[in-house]
Amino acid sequence: MKNDSNKGTPAMNIDEGKIAESLSAAKGDAVQVREILARALELKGIDARDVSVLAGVSDPELLHELFMAAKKVKESIYGRRLVIFAPLYISNLCDNECLYCAFRSRNTSISRKALTQEEIRREVEIIIDQGHKRVLLVAGESYPREGFDYILKSLAAVYDTRSGAGEIRRVNVNIAPLDIDQFRELKNAKIGTYQLFQETYHRETYARMHVSGKKRDFDWRITAMDRAMEAGIDDVGIGVLFGLYDWRFEIQALMQHIGHLEKKFGTGPHTISVPRLEPAGGSDIAGHPPAAVSDMNFRKITAILRLAVPYTGIIMSTRETPEMRRETFALGVSQISAGSRTNPGGYGENDEDSGQFSLGDHRSLDEVIRDVVSLGYIPSFCTGCYRLGRTGRDFMDLAKPGEIRHHCDPNAAATFMEYMMDYGSAELKKMAMPVLDAFMQGMDPLGAERAKAMMKKVLEGKRDVFC
């Protein structure tokens, strides 16, 4: 096990033996399962052994109780709001040979491209004109001749772009691991969350899937969050590409990674992503996952993670079908992408065949919003916490006693009203007000008063109203 050469960050170790022991010992009966679910409803999380017991649940009645517990925990903390964002792929240049990815270096079935700053601005204008306020900037794990400066210039281009009354108010980032000094530069560029997936925490599988390139270094990747947080980025997002190895092992390893961050920095990840391996151009493995995850087990993954880390946002991408996305809203998902393209220039070209992976949800943003509203949820375009410094420990200090809803619920209502006024279809406007009224009635008195005042300002023409 090596150390990070930049300021000696110790490599974070996944204890595979401990995971094996936990999985083999977890054979809970109905009484034990219900005891775990009762503890989970206290909103304090559950431990690794509890996670293993829940992973083994197959009885239909107990599965129903598991899903209902996840729904209660999700709505206790996040209410009926869903945060909306769009991915922005700026480059598919990559020196890594990752067998499951269309961007892998030896794949000749796609054309390679790194967007110019002008092309990035045009993509951002299209995204803004859809109604988005936050994006996730994504790049292949090598850059043009400018190197890391290309990322910094691209971030500036996104923030500087305006179209009509709209702009992008927060950029989250999913790029290759950096050293501490580069992470400091990334923080100074005013990013929101730094996101990076380990893909698989199982070392042997990781080595088999990552044939060459810097990404082959398991330790450099798994310590990226340590370096990011040491550099001052206190909102980080982790995740697993489910389908590369046994999902039960992966969620146990996620728990170890979260525990490491909480112990070292006092706070865990701001988000957890749950992508499932989908077909990708030029990859046989992507079309035939080594450890395929069934729809039922995928629902269990979402529900168990919600119970295990109740205050962490869970992200569901457009890899999944509309049907699966709908089901997981109630099981713990709190953030979703919408109207996505996964290739550089994809919003202008609409060339989904050259994307990083196959999409399961091809709907436009407005179609997704209408679906979300029809299910009784409020789409949120809020970026207030990032800009007011409610991140890391400060966010968790408000989230754990439930006080964050005094801010998040009003911000969701105000940003949704702004979306309806500026971008919403006539059909959406007809169906939205009863759902918004019900959402307001479910707020605490302080939140409801804030929401009414903020929405009044939006109706009067003010924009970017948040608290």
Cβ partners under 8 Å of residue 66, min gap 6: 33, 37, 54, 57, 300, 303, 304, 307
Can you give the pLDDT of all 467 residues of the chain as single tens digits?
A: 344 444 444 568 899 999 999 888 777 799 999 999 999 999 999 999 999 999 999 999 999 999 999 999 999 988 899 999 999 999 999 999 999 999 999 998 888 999 999 999 999 999 999 999 999 999 988 888 889 999 999 999 999 999 998 999 999 999 999 999 999 999 999 999 999 999 999 999 999 999 999 999 999 999 999 999 999 999 999 999 999 999 999 999 999 999 999 999 999 999 999 999 988 888 889 889 999 999 999 999 999 999 999 999 999 999 999 999 999 999 999 999 999 998 999 999 755 555 666 678 889 999 999 999 999 999 999 998 888 888 888 887 777 766 777 788 999 999 999 999 999 999 999 999 999 999 999 898 888 999 999 999 999 999 999 98
Task: Determine the pLDDT at residue 353.
Answer: 53
Q: What is the pLDDT of residue 2?
A: 40
pLDDT of residue 10: 53
Q: How far is CA 204 from the centre of its chain?
A: 26
pTM exceeds 0.85 for this model: yes
